[in-house]
Amino acid sequence: MPGPECKLSAETGAPCVTDDSSSRLVPMFVYGTLKTGQPNHQVLLDGAHGHAAFRGRACTLEPYPLVIAGEHNIPRLLNLPGRGHRVAGEVYQVDERMLRFLDEFEGCPDMYQRTRLHVALEGTRAPLECFVYTTATYPPEWVHLPYLDDYDSQGKHGLRYNPRENR
Q: Which residues contact 55 (CB under 8 A, 6 or more apart)?
A: 27, 90, 91, 92, 93, 121
Q: Which residues contact 141 (CB under 8 A, 6 or more apart)?
A: none
> Torsions phi, psi of 98, nearest 5?
-65, -40
CA max distance for the chain:
56
Residue of 62, 71, 104, 106 marked active site: 106
In the residue annotation, 106 being an active-site residue is answered as: yes
Task: Kindly report the length of the chain.
Answer: 167
Q: Any idea which residues carry the catalytic annotation?
A: 106
